[in-house]
Amino acid sequence: MVVFKYNGRTTGGAVKKGTVDAINKQAAITKLRAQGINPRELEESKSLLHKELSIGGTVKNQDFVVYSRQFATLIRAGVSILESTRILADQTSSKP
């Protein structure tokens, strides 16, 4: 199976983006049309991570910058990635 990224419109006219698993491009188009989506753009995903990640909301740029700086500091101090993530998750007031 190949993962394809798509941009398209639903039959109601709403813009829809996402990914679809299919054997080839034509099968992906058929699958999307069966879901009521008319694909405008369809390309094979080059990413190793085929799933889109959702963390429950949008992260503000300022929060992301602070997180990144603190994360880098912890990593440089020799704290493991997992423990760094736990520490920062406990400290933040912004859950997304």
28-79 pLDDT, tens digit per residue, is 999 999 999 999 999 988 765 555 555 566 778 888 888 899 999 999 999 9
Residue with tokens 């419109």, as numbered in its chain: 9
Q: 30 is written with which tokens?
A: 């058929």
Q: What is the pLDDT of residue 56?
A: 60
Sort 16 into a burial class: Cβ within 10 Å, 0-12 / 13-18 / 19+: middle
* 66-93 average pLDDT score: 91
DSSP 5-59: EEEEEETTS-EEEEEEEESSHHHHHHHHHHTTEEEEEEEE---S--SPP--SSPP
Q: What is the pLDDT of residue 51?
A: 53
pTM, two decimals, is 0.49
**7 pLDDT higher than 80:** yes
Q: Hey, where are the domains in the chain?
A: 2-44, 61-91
